[in-house]
């Protein structure tokens, strides 16, 4: 260590100077950054807290405050108990969970297999298929062509219409393909010398090294399936088949009344604002719970795939 310090001293006085692009920012710049970060956090946290507090507040407090509550007088889960009592929201939540889980798994399988095939050199038809993928990425199909294709395939009023049209995303495919291309070619050659097939190479070598990109792309697919509401409106005529986001859109934005289907009289639930906010929290919470576990993979998964592609 001392020898290294002596060599640095002998190199001259400018040896330890920071480059111009790494200079310490001015104190006013640091303050400005801190203020910007604080304001951004406040703009994100405060609205979410108001929504959550309103959903947990008593009905009378929400009514007296004009439909909002900054801090509940007493925390109550009555709104959540009502919307999860076996009615419209419960059914929509199960639909969203099923479509999200099945769709994400199916999309990951198809994306990984197609990306691996396109990443390997010498694949027959690899370049034309890649050009078609890029063409769909640059020129996505419109609503009317997509609707006509789904209708001609007999997928309307089925849950397949929520999965198959978006089974493979071109951007995610390009990212995964770029990541696979970044894996050293020596590993593929070693697997071939050991007699491993392409399928075994994929499962024993490529996938264990690609956990980051698979986690990121899986989150992209899951968020897309979970937040999608338009396809249900377009392809599903039966409202009982709608996912949570479609039900939430109709209830929160359009003021559609939810009825307590657990009640034999089908009476309208009181204090609808608490119900609206509870549905919003229910539609947002699953992604918020999953995201922190995948966040650490974002830089490695997305940047590596994007740079290599």
pLDDT digit string, tens, across residues 91-145: 888 999 999 999 999 999 999 999 999 988 878 888 888 888 888 888 888 888 8
Residues 104 and 223 placed together within one structural domain of the fold = yes
Highest mean pLDDT out of 38-42, 143-147, 268-272, 289-293: 38-42
Instruction: Out of 57, 76, 95, pick the residue that ends a domain.
Output: 76
Instruction: Out of 29, 56, 76, pick the residue that ends a domain.
Output: 76
Count other C-beta atoms under 10 Å from residue 278's C-beta: 24
The pLDDT, as a whole number, for residue 158 is 92
Residues 106 and 70 placed together within one structural domain of the fold = no
Residues 152 and 267 placed together within one structural domain of the fold = yes
Residues 125 and 42 placed together within one structural domain of the fold = no
Indicate the DSSP class of residue 171. H
Could you tell me the CA-to-CA distances from 181 to 178, 187, 309 in Å, in that order? 5, 12, 8
Positive or negative: CA dihedral 267, 273, 274, 277: positive
Taking 70 as the threshold, does the pLDDT of residue 49 lie above it?
A: yes
The pLDDT, as a whole number, for residue 105 is 95
Residues 47 and 107 placed together within one structural domain of the fold = no
3-state secondary structure of 259: strand
Residues 139 and 51 placed together within one structural domain of the fold = no
The pLDDT, as a whole number, for residue 43 is 92
Q: Quote the pTM value.
A: 0.77
Residues 59 and 96 placed together within one structural domain of the fold = no
Least confident of 14-18, 135-139, 203-207: 14-18
Residues 20 and 112 placed together within one structural domain of the fold = no
Residues 63 and 94 placed together within one structural domain of the fold = no
3-state secondary structure of 236: coil
Dihedral through CA 278, CA 282, CA 287, CA 289, nearest 10?
90
Dist CA 278 CA 104 (whole Å): 26
**What mean pLDDT, rounded, does the chain reach?**
80
CATH of the domain at 182: 1.10.3720.10
pLDDT digit string, tens, across residues 208-255: 888 888 988 998 899 899 988 889 989 998 888 899 888 888 776 655
Query: Helix-strand-coil percent breakdown of the chain, rounded to 5?
Result: 75, 0, 25
Dist CA 262 CA 160 (whole Å): 29
Q: Read off the pLDDT band of 18 (50, 70, 90).
A: low
**Section 36-55 average pLDDT:** 90
The pLDDT, as a whole number, for residue 264 is 37
Residues 71 and 197 placed together within one structural domain of the fold = no
Dist CA 133 CA 155 (whole Å): 23
The pLDDT, as a whole number, for residue 255 is 54
Could you tell me the CA-to-CA distances from 227 to 82, 117, 219, 244, 284 in Å, in that order? 23, 30, 12, 9, 9
Residues 243 and 131 placed together within one structural domain of the fold = yes
Q: Read off the pLDDT band of 307 (50, 70, 90).
A: very low
Instruction: Out of 76, 94, 116, pick the residue that ends a domain.
Output: 76
Q: Which helix (H) or strand (E) holds 245?
A: helix 244-248
What's the residue count for the chain?
309
Residues 155 and 258 placed together within one structural domain of the fold = yes
Q: Which domain holds residue 150?
A: 82-308
Q: Read off the pLDDT band of 257 (50, 70, 90).
A: low
Q: Read off the pLDDT band of 173 (50, 70, 90).
A: very high
Dist CA 213 CA 183 (whole Å): 12
Q: Read off the pLDDT band of 266 (50, 70, 90).
A: very low
Q: List the structure tokens of 227.
A: 């937040």
Number of domains in the chain: 2
Q: List the structure tokens of 69.
A: 């509550």
Q: Read off the pLDDT band of 285 (50, 70, 90).
A: confident
């Amino acid at each position: 260590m001392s020898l290294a310090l002596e060599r640095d001293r002998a190199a001259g006085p400018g040896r330890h100077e920071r480059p111009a692009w790494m200079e310490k920012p001015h104190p006013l710049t640091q303050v400005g950054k801190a203020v910007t970060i604080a304001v951004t956090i406040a703009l994100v946290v405060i609205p979410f807290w108001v929504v959550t507090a309103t959903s947990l507040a008593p009905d009378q407090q929400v009514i007296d405050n004009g439909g909002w509550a900054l801090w509940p007088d007493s925390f109550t889960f009555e709104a959540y108990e009502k919307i999860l009592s076996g009615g419209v929201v419960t059914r929509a939540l199960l639909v969203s969970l099923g479509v999200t889980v099945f769709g994400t798994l199916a999309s990951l399988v198809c994306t990984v297999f197609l990306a691996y095939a396109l990443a390997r050199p010498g694949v027959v038809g690899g370049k034309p298929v890649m050009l078609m993928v890029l063409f769909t990425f640059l020129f996505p199909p419109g609503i009317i062509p997509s609707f006509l294709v789904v209708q001609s395939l007999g997928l309307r009023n089925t849950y397949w219409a929520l999965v198959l049209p978006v089974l493979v995303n071109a951007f995610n495919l390009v990212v995964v393909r770029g990541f696979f291309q970044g894996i050293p070619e020596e590993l593929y050659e070693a697997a071939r010398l050991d007699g491993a097939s392409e399928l075994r190479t994929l499962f024993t070598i490529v996938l264990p090294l690609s956990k980051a990109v698979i986690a990121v792309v899986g989150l992209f697919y899951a968020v897309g399936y979970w937040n999608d509401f338009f396809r249900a409106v377009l392809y599903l005529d039966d409202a009982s088949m709608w996912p949570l986001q479609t039900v939430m859109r109709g209830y929160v934005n359009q003021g559609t009344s939810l009825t307590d289907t657990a009640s034999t009289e089908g009476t309208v639930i009181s204090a609808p604002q608490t119900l609206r906010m509870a549905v919003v929290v229910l539609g947002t919470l699953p992604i918020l719970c999953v995201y922190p576990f995948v966040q650490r993979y974002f830089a490695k998964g997305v940047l590596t795939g994007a740079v290599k592609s």
